[in-house]
Amino acid sequence: MRKIALIAAAALLAAMLVPAMAWSAPKEIKIGVIYPLTGGAAAAGRELRAGAELAAQIANQSMPNINMDMAKTAGVKSLGGAKITLIFKDHQGNPQLGADLAKKLILDDKVVGILGCYHSSVTKTVSAVCERYGVPMINGSSTSPGLTKRGFKWFWRTTPHDKWFTKDLFEFLVGLSKGKVKGVKAVPRADINTLASACEKTEWGSNVAIEIENFAKEYKFNLASNILYAAKSPDLSSEVQSMIAVKPGAMLFASYTSDALLMIKTLKSMKAKPKVVWGQDAGFDKPEFVALGDDIVGILTRSVFLPSVVKMKPLSGQVNAMYVKMMGHDLGGASARSFTGLQTWVYVLEKAGSTEPKAIQAACNTISIPGDQLVVPWVGIKFSTKGDEIGQNVLGGGLIGQYQKQKDGKIGLEVVYPFDIATAPMVYPFPGY
């Protein structure tokens, strides 16, 4: 009789535990992903989507040959192997639409959290919705500095922002005048001292223009022209004419894809020939831009990932090979950052061991992901919890690459900054048209 009683008690205990285990170990974890999948930034949207999908694929399958923690097990181990399910939404570059989509994802789709949104203007409205509902949002690709200066409790950003990237540009220009650039003798400061910039005037470009103006003063460059133009402009002739008129040593741009393509075509038609042309990533780092061929040889772009990074990080090479198989071309700045953003979501969920918002919030505020886990060449990921940049990753870093013609005739990006990891001599001056 005693044996029967023990068996019955065990069965009762098991029956009591089943509901609790079922609650704590969901089969899937839904994350809402909001990107521009149509419209002028659709090219970027395709890259962003593919980067996030590849990260989810690695997280959901066991790929022990990839030296990354999330590849060792299938699904989130601390949540019973629950798989990541991505629900994509298209904000079309529209901040109000982005906010509406975020609300729908939270209330109707019951997502655990949000990843997005590329356009800083959309990230601004979407993160406000997440803050209102107490839903975590991780941002991997928006670089307006103000996004992490609002004291939000439910917003974390993995990518460095434009203040860091723009400072890199001026450090590069100063280094160019001091002979620090690989393959280039010290350039007379007077040759590059006059600057002209053109930035699109949404949240992102407007803040880039401010950073350029601030750093030009700090580093004592002459910013002779600082233009804000309407995004998706059908004609940029007057803007380019104004820039050429001040005879700049360096032309600086913050443009999304369609504007970047038109800007280069306009520069060519007007035979512009500055010493340096620099783009703040975005449209200067997309396959459509590379398709311009010889017209972009010598142009610089800032990024967080360049294909030549695979020469320094074998892990980046492994993931890049998967991306090439998936998309037919290398990872770029947008896809590498969306990959890293989704990867951060997986590591945060693993640490939280729960899908409860408070547990995820605590995990975000204490997580430390070492650089050897990442495809991007950063020290790691650790979010600030104090000071004036709450939620900002403090271990990121930027690169400046230059488009050069490779031995096989294709156009590729080589690292020219930081100086100590340059992968090729710089082409200087810009060949012009």
State pLDDT tens for residues 65-74. 999 999 999 9
Question: For residue 83, is pLDDT > 50?
Answer: yes
pLDDT, one tens digit per residue, over 183-228 is 999 999 999 999 999 999 988 999 999 999 999 999 999 999 999 9
Q: How confident is the model at residue 7 (pLDDT cuts 50, 70, 90)?
A: very low
Q: How confident is the model at residue 26 (pLDDT cuts 50, 70, 90)?
A: confident
Per-residue DSSP letter, 177: H
SS3 122: helix
Angle between helices 257-269 and 237-245 (to 10 degrees): 60
Question: For residue 400, is pLDDT > 50?
Answer: yes
Whole-Å CA distances, 316 to 320, 358, 381, 394, 399: 6, 33, 16, 21, 15
Q: How confident is the model at residue 308 (pLDDT cuts 50, 70, 90)?
A: confident
Question: For residue 304, is pLDDT > 90?
Answer: no
Q: How confident is the model at residue 96 (pLDDT cuts 50, 70, 90)?
A: very high
Question: For residue 167, is pLDDT > 90?
Answer: yes
Question: For residue 38, is pLDDT > 90?
Answer: yes
Q: pLDDT at position 287, please?
A: 84
Pairing of strands 380-381, 369-370: antiparallel
Q: How confident is the model at residue 20 (pLDDT cuts 50, 70, 90)?
A: very low
Q: How confident is the model at residue 41 (pLDDT cuts 50, 70, 90)?
A: confident
Q: pLDDT at position 310, please?
A: 85
Question: For residue 8, is pLDDT > 70?
Answer: no
Q: How confident is the model at residue 14 (pLDDT cuts 50, 70, 90)?
A: very low
Prediction pTM value: 0.82
Q: How confident is the model at residue 283 (pLDDT cuts 50, 70, 90)?
A: confident
Instruction: Provide, rounded to the nearest whole percent, the portion of the chain with pLDDT above 70.
Output: 94
Q: What are all long-range contacts of 145-152, with beta carbons under 8 Å and residues at least 24 apart? A: 145/207, 145/211, 146/203, 146/207, 147/120, 147/123, 148/384, 148/389, 148/390, 148/391, 148/392, 149/388, 149/389, 150/390, 151/390, 152/127, 152/390, 152/391
Q: How confident is the model at residue 25 (pLDDT cuts 50, 70, 90)?
A: low
Q: pLDDT at position 1, please?
A: 44
Question: For residue 54, is pLDDT > 70?
Answer: yes
pLDDT, one tens digit per residue, over 129-142 is 999 999 999 999 99
